[in-house]
Structure 1
Amino acid sequence: MIKIGITGGIGSGKSVVAALLELSGIPVYIADTESKLLTATSPVIREKLITLFGEQLYTADGLDKKRLASHIFGNPERLEQVNAIIHPEVNRHFLAWTERQNTPVCAIESAILFESGFNRVVDTTLMVYAPMEVRIKRALERDVVSREEVIRRIESQLSDEVKKEKSDYVVFNDGKQALLPQITAFLTGLNT
């Protein structure tokens, strides 16, 4: 089975590309969604986070996301520790998920494909690129946040230039070039 890693910055259109792949019959694992679910439900993650931050991190309702955020906000070392707990579990979950797929190709969508190390378990990487202003506009339309917040989020991620350099294939989602022909060309190039 060929595993594709889809990445791109905030507002680049990763979800659109993932949806196009799904329409082509390729199952896509959405790492952000699954990561949130696992952080709330995985006994392994729960135990390690409690060891790091204390019992009060989980309430009767589950993970106290605000408390977790308060521990890691502005603290790169703590964020790294949390990521070192969560990313390996998401990685294991993704690999188990791939085993249940009955298709020659599957994919994982992750904004932090390279930062998390998920790129090491895929066969090829596909970056979705959009110009900065297009990304900001999309994020502002989608999320209830300020322009400054969007820019801060963008700056907290690996730069597009680095992602482009590390990726095997880049599709342009700039509103000028049609996505479908680019996706079709990418899929045609896979050795399935």
Structure 2
Amino acid sequence: MSSPKLVGLTGGIGSGKSTVAKIFEILHIPVYYADDRAKWLMNFDQELKSKIQEAFGTDSYDSEGNLNRSYLASTVFSDTEKVAKINSLVHPAVRKDFEIWASHQNAPYVLKEAALIFETGGEKKLDAIINVSSPLKIRISRVLMRDSHRSLDQVNHIIDQQMPDEEKNERADFVIKNTDTKMLIPQVLAIHQKLTP
């Protein structure tokens, strides 16, 4: 069994990349959801847990050994140096986990769904990148509708941390335009045909 091509699926918050991932899954393409997996690894990967505790103190986990999200949110995510530090621990763990997972998949290609691929240099380990692109206004209204706990300021802050759509589109191998006027399924099918030998 030859190993599958590794394809990144990215897009800014509210771009609709999860919806696109679901369409690929209907085509029997395995999808690795990097953000969900990162949360799992931060709770269950002993090596990663000890590195996080070493870097941010024992308060990073509660007495049950679960990640202390509120502590990390208050101490880490307001400090760019600490964000860079936690990313430098979590991203390599996710990358390794993804490679192991991908090696067990029987498909022409697999998708790694992640908000930050170009921002973390993750594209170097992938064979191709698909960017889901959507107008900023539409993205913001989608997120505000979906995540009632987020304010407009918080959404704008997340967008500011991500690479601009135009730059992602230039660097990606494929671009899916998720607007109110373009159908997603034909765009996904066209890419699927190109990636399937």
Counterpart-to-counterpart distance in 1, 2:25 and 2:191: 14
Structure 1 residue 56, shift from structure 2 partner:
2.1
Q: Of 41, 44, 48, which aligns to 2:47?
A: 44
- Identical residues among aligned pairs (%): 36
Equivalenced residue count is 192
Counterpart-to-counterpart distance in 1, 2:26 and 2:120: 27
Counterpart-to-counterpart distance in 2, 1:23 and 1:146: 33
Structure 1 residue 32, shift from structure 2 partner:
0.5
Partner of 1:137: 141
Counterpart-to-counterpart distance in 1, 2:190 and 2:107: 19
Residue 80 (1) aligns with residue 84 (2):
yes
2:70 counterpart letter in structure 1: K
Is the partner of 1:59 in helix, strand or coil?
coil
2:22 counterpart letter in structure 1: A
| Runs of 4+ with deviation above 6 angstroms | none
Structure 1 residue 148, shift from structure 2 partner:
2.2
Counterpart-to-counterpart distance in 2, 1:103 and 1:86: 27
Q: Of 18, 24, 27, which aligns to 1:24?
A: 27
Partner of 1:167: 172
Partner of 2:195: 190
Structure 1 residue 52, shift from structure 2 partner:
0.9
Partner of 1:124: 128
Q: Which moved more, 1:142-151 or 1:2-11?
A: 142-151
Residue 100 (1) aligns with residue 104 (2):
yes
1:102 counterpart letter in structure 2: N
Q: Which moved more, 1:56-65 or 1:79-88?
A: 56-65
Partner of 1:12: 15
Is the partner of 1:63 in helix, strand or coil?
coil
Counterpart-to-counterpart distance in 2, 1:176 and 1:67: 42
Counterpart-to-counterpart distance in 1, 2:73 and 2:153: 19
Q: TM-score normalised to the size of structure 1?
A: 0.96
1:66-93: CA deviation from partner (whole Å, max 9, x where unpaired): 1112221221111111100000000000
Q: Which moved more, 1:30-39 or 1:162-171?
A: 162-171
1:103-157: CA deviation from partner (whole Å, max 9, x where unpaired): 1211100010112232222111000000001101110110012222211211121
Partner of 1:57: 60
Partner of 2:163: 158
In structure 1, the gaps of 5 or more residues are none
Query: Does the 8 A contact of 2:32 with 2:98 survive in 1?
Result: yes
In structure 2, the gaps of 5 or more residues are none
Counterpart-to-counterpart distance in 2, 1:15 and 1:90: 18
Q: Which moved more, 1:88-97 or 1:45-54?
A: 45-54
Q: TM-score normalised to the size of structure 2?
A: 0.93
1:27-62: CA deviation from partner (whole Å, max 9, x where unpaired): 000001000111111111111111111222212231
Structure 1 residue 179, shift from structure 2 partner:
0.7
Counterpart-to-counterpart distance in 2, 1:139 and 1:29: 22
1:41 counterpart letter in structure 2: F
